[in-house]
Each structure stands twice: as structure tokens, then as C-alpha cells.
Amino acid sequence: MNLVVQKFGGTSVADPDRMRAVADHIARTRRQGANVAVVVSAMGKETDDLLHLASQVSKTRPGREMDMLITAGERKSVALLCMALADLGVAAASFTGSQAGIITDTAHQNAKILEVRADRLRQALDEGKVPVVGGAQGVSTDRDVTFLGRGGSDTTAVALAAALKADACEIYTDVSGVFTADPRIVPNARKLLHLSFEEMLEISATGGRVLALRSVEFARNHDVPLHVRSSFTWELGTMVDKEDLSMEQAIISAVTDDASEAKVTVAALPDRPGIAARLFRAMADQSVNVDMIVQNVSHDGTTDISFTVPMEDLDTSIEVARVLGPEIGGGEVSADRDIARVSLVGAGMKTHPGVAATMFETLAREGVNIEMISTSSIRISCIVREAQLETAVRSLHEAFKLEG
Ligand code: ADP
Ligand code: ASP
Ligand code: MG
């Protein structure tokens, strides 16, 4: 019998009606003759609510206790979904990440899966039950409860699909697939029927939160094809797999947006070997996740270095730069929270010149100033003012004729 892993995101189980609708969906998949293992997220905005609650109670918020708190959201979901399945006559059993054998490292709030010991899930499947596993959680090598980070339920689903050697991994969400842009910003965005892991990695890394980046990395590394689809309909969604169809595909697949980073500038650094090395080693030592880096042309032997970091790493990175700056002969440190990144992703751009030129011309026509640029072989990103992000996304979507 085929085995399907089905993951349902927060909106898909946001209220009792949606929870029952998901149970119906699972029951129907079973009637069609497949075995099902389920991964479910916390209901609606529950994860945000728990994070907010913690910030009202505590300033220190120790990681171990944060993980115990946040994973409670998914724990509620698995229990309720199993009850709804029982009402439909479907035998199901709920599992926390720990019970499901998801072993992680000890990095609280952003733990990585090291291993999946899936024997309890296999046993449940052998007994004809639907195992329902709490997403985004596991147990650490120190035997503490861990949270895999925002969007971590996607990773749980992929890891289980790999461990159980499932025939399919379906990610159900509130949109019917991966679109040429976030449909919330571009209402006439088009659903993409197929994407390679490489394209999806770039989309996830640059703000397309429909699949969490780590889940796509895991899927690529373990060759788990993904099907992103709507939990509200049965229509086919987007297939993401190793197939590279770039020869036949459009040059650009998607425009992405990301307003979650901030920019730090360290002015007047000496322009000599070892300065950037010391600055970014100091950032790395504090686990600051540096993204784009630009070093200006040197005048009088000094240069400015600007880089982007996730908003949550901003305070740490400023502190590191202020402490280290004078030691390495640097000047003023400044921060800018009002930046955003707009990116074009497409495997076809490898073989088509002129994509960058058209991107920059389009932004220029809209009066959008480009502050930083970075590229990979299948992506171009520009840092712009956050207030102009939506204009930038819409104009690029139109210029590259991506609409449906
Ligand atoms: P879930 O709770 O199911 O995990 P998420 O909110 O994490 O759902 O992801 C789905 C959301 O991703 C959509 O509602 C959509 O606004 C957003 N999104 C951003 N970029 C894209 C894109 N290119 N295609 C589809 N959805 C996108
Ligand atoms: N509920 C968690 C979050 O909102 C994990 C997940 O749904 O993937 O990030
Ligand atoms: Mg998600």
C-alpha cells in the first residue's frame, strides 16, 4: 500500500471546523487506499500568541523553557485532530516529536534534526493507525524538548517522509501551491506546476515562506519530492523535485519579497587584509547570521562595509561591531531597519543574458533606488527601501510577464 505523509499548516487547522475538515481529508485519502502519516502545526496564530505571552512574562526567556512552551501549540493540535479522526471511525494516534523519535541537537528554538527513530510510527502504521505527529519539535541529545524554529513543521514532514520512505510528501497550506509571487502582494500571480529543488531553495531563502528553507534543504539532500497544495480543495498544487526543466522553462519563475532583515554599516575601516575576516569572525562567534555583504571602493585607504542580518540578530551585531570596530580601526556603526529585499529566481536565467539589466531598468522606472545587489546563478536580489517593496515586486512581476 502507498504511504503518504500529509502536513497541515496553522491556517489549515485554525478552528474546530477546519480541524474537522482536515480529518475528513485524511479519511478520504485512506478510503482511496493509501496509508497516511500526518504532521500538524499549531492552530492559527497560536505560536505567535505563545511567543507574545512569553515576552509579557519574562525578559530572559530561557531557550529550554521557550521550547517547552511553544511546542504546546502543536501538542494541542495532534490531540484534537486524533479526536476528530476517531469520530470518523479512523484509528489514529497522536505523537509528540519526542515520541515520534525525532532526535535533534541542543540548539533550543532552532534545533536541527539529527536522526529519526521511526519505529513507533511504523508500528502504528502496521496496526492500521494514522500516526499524527506534532510538527516542528523533537527531543535533544540531552533529552530536552526542542523546537525546530518557525516553519519547522515543513521540516518534520520531509524528515518523516524520508525516514518512512513514503511515496509522497504533501504540504497542505492556505494557498494552492507555490506562485510566481506572494498572492497577498500580487493578486494575479500564477501557480507554478513544477519547480526544481534549486529554484525552491532560492525562493525559500529570499522570503517565499510557503516552504521553510530547511525543509527544502532536507528534501533535496534526501531526494524527497514535495507536493505543495491547498487544504481547502483537492486541486493539484506545485511539484518540487530534482527534475531540472530549465531548458523548457520561462527565464524567471518567481519574484520574492523579504522585509525581515536589517542593514548594519561599519564606516571607515582600514582597507587591508584581515579586517573583514575579523569583523565577520566576531559576528559568527556570536551566531549572527550575516547575509548580503557590500564593501565600498576605498578612499584614502579606508572603506565602509555594509551587511544585512535577520532583524532578531540586529542588536547583537551592532554590539559586536561597536566593541570590535575601534580595535580594528573602524569608525561609526549605524543600523537601518527599513530595508527590504526583492529577488528574481529562475533556472532559465543561467542561459539568458539581460535579466539583471531589465530588473534594474524596471526598478529605476518606478523610482526605486537599489542599495545592495547580490546574485547566484539562478537569482538576483536587490536591497531597496522597505516602503517601496510592494511596488518593486509588482512592477517586476509585470515586467517579466509572470501573471496568470
Ligand atoms: P502554513 O501555516 O500552512 O505553513 P505559511 O503561512 O507558512 O502557511 O505559508 C503560506 C503563505 O506563504 C501564503 O499564505 C502566502 O501568503 C505566503 N507566500 C509567500 N510567497 C509565496 C509564493 N511565492 N507562493 C505561495 N505563497 C507564498
Ligand atoms: N507553528 C510553528 C510556526 O508557526 C511551526 C510550524 O507551523 O511550522 O512556526
Ligand atoms: Mg509554514
> For ligand 2, is residue 153 a contact (CB within 6 Å)?
yes
Whole-number Å distance, alpha carbon 150 to ligand 2 midpoint, is 5
CA distance 195 to 9: 21
Instruction: Give mean pLDDT, residues 190-200.
Output: 95
Pocket test for ligand 2, best of 11, 38, 39, 41 (most atoms within 8 A of CB): 41
pLDDT at 249: 65
Tens digits of per-residue pLDDT, 130-139?
A: 999 999 999 9
Tens digits of per-residue pLDDT, 352-379?
A: 889 999 999 999 999 999 999 999 999 9
Grid cell, residue 230, equals 491547498
Q: Identify whether the C-beta of residue 115 lies closer than 8 Å to the C-beta of residue 161.
A: no
pLDDT at 248: 60
pLDDT at 279: 95
Tens digits of per-residue pLDDT, 165-183?
A: 999 999 999 999 999 999 9
pLDDT at 298: 79
Q: Whose CA is nearest to atom 6 of ligand 2?
A: 151
Tens digits of per-residue pLDDT, 93-149?
A: 999 999 999 999 999 999 999 999 999 999 999 999 999 999 999 999 999 999 999
> Does residue 327 have a pLDDT over 80?
yes
pLDDT at 244: 72
Which residues sit with their C-beta closer than 6 Å to ligand 1?
9-12, 41, 151, 173-175, 178-179, 181-184, 208-210, 254
DSSP string, 24-87: HHHHHHHHTT-EEEEEE--STTHHHHHHHHHHHH-SS--HHHHHHHHHHHHHHHHHHHHHHHHH
Whole-number Å distance, alpha carbon 335 to ligand 3 midpoint, is 29
Whole-number Å distance, alpha carbon 329 to ligand 1 midpoint, is 44
Which numbered ligand comes closest to the C-alpha of 174?
1
Instruction: Give mean pLDDT, residues 29-53.
Output: 97
pLDDT at 353: 87
Q: Whose CA is nearest to atom 21 of ligand 1?
A: 182
> Rounded to two decimals, what is the model's pTM?
0.95
Atom of ligand 2 nearest to the CA of 150: 9
Topology (CATH level 3) of domain 3-174: Carbamate kinase (3.40.1160)
What residue segments make up the domains of the chain, in order of their start? Answer: 3-174
pLDDT at 269: 93
Whole-number Å distance, alpha carbon 152 to ligand 2 midpoint, is 6
> Does residue 218 have a pLDDT over 60?
yes
Q: Which residue has the higher pLDDT, 82 or 250?
A: 82
The SS3 assignment for 158 reads helix
- For residue 89, what are the contacts with CB-CB under 8 A and spacing of at least 6? 27
pLDDT band at 66 (very low <50, low <70, confident <90, very high): very high
Atom of ligand 2 nearest to the CA of 48: 4
Query: Look-up: residue for cell 543574458?
Result: 353
Grid cell, residue 12, equals 489549515
Tens digits of per-residue pLDDT, 226-250?
A: 999 999 998 999 999 998 765 566 7
Which numbered ligand comes closest to the C-alpha of 190?
1
Which numbered ligand comes closest to the C-alpha of 135?
2
Q: Whose CA is nearest to atom 8 of ligand 2?
A: 151
Ligand 3 is an ion; residues with CB less than 5 A from it: 9, 151
pLDDT at 24: 97
pLDDT at 246: 54
> For ligand 2, is residue 97 a contact (CB within 6 Å)?
no
pLDDT at 1: 78
Whole-number Å distance, alpha carbon 209 to ligand 1 midpoint, is 5
> For ligand 2, is residue 152 a contact (CB within 6 Å)?
yes
pLDDT at 247: 55
> What mean pLDDT, rounded, does the chain reach?
95
> For ligand 2, is residue 346 a contact (CB within 6 Å)?
no
> Does residue 159 have a pLDDT over 80?
yes
Closest CA to 75 of 113, 39, 36, 42: 42
Tens digits of per-residue pLDDT, 260-298?
A: 999 999 999 999 999 999 999 999 999 899 999 999 887
Whole-number Å distance, alpha carbon 307 to ligand 1 midpoint, is 27
- For the chain, percent of residues with pLDDT exceeding 90: 91
pLDDT at 62: 97
